[in-house]
Amino acid sequence: MVENKKIYRLRSKNDFALLSTRGQTVFGSHWLIFKVLNHEEKFHKLGWTVPKYVGNAVLRNKFKRWLREILENKKQMTLKLSEKHYSLNLILRKKNASFYQDVKFEEFERAVLNGLRKIKKIQN
């Protein structure tokens, strides 16, 4: 396996659409969804979907910062998910208005790591 230490971001609308239609769905928790798709490129790609129903821009950006922090701290686990390289989109599901305001970092981290563990089981 060619090891690449960098995780690239999903940026194009086509990448997200491909993941949405062909990607496998994995639930990290009842409010966190991962869409996963193996690809032939030599690196991993990561994207996140944090819609407006989650809250205002400050709250949405907080979740994005938390995700980047978790993935930076757990980079080795993330990179070793499988021999194949993959595209991954993290999606926050629709919940009531105050739900996301009450989510703590530890709970978010637990949900993300749980989803990554499930992906690792599926990929192997």
Residue 2 resides in a domain: no
Share of the chain above pLDDT 70, in %: 86
CB atoms within 10 A of CB 93: 15
pLDDT over 90 (residue 101): yes
Share of the chain above pLDDT 90, in %: 40
- The string of pLDDT tens digits covering residues 75-97 is 656 556 556 778 889 999 999 87
Residue 99 resides in a domain: yes
| CATH at 38 | 3.30.230.10
Beta strand 44-49 pairing with 7-9 = parallel
Q: How many domains does the chain have?
A: 1
- DSSP class of residue 103 equals -
Residue 1 resides in a domain: no
Residue 80 resides in a domain: yes
Residue 43 resides in a domain: yes
Average pLDDT, the chain: 84
- The string of pLDDT tens digits covering residues 38-76 is 877 777 788 999 999 999 999 999 999 998 888 888 765
Average pLDDT of span 105-119: 90
The pLDDT score that the predictor gives to residue 1 is: 36
Owning domain of residue 62:
7-123
Share in percent of the chain as helix, strand, coil (round to 5): 45, 25, 30
Residue 22 resides in a domain: yes
pTM of this prediction? 0.82
Average pLDDT of span 25-31: 91
More confident of the two residues 124 and 16: 16
Q: Which residues contact 43 (CB under 8 A, 6 or more apart)?
A: 4, 6, 7, 8, 85
Residue type, 82: S
Average pLDDT of span 98-109: 93
pLDDT over 80 (residue 2): no
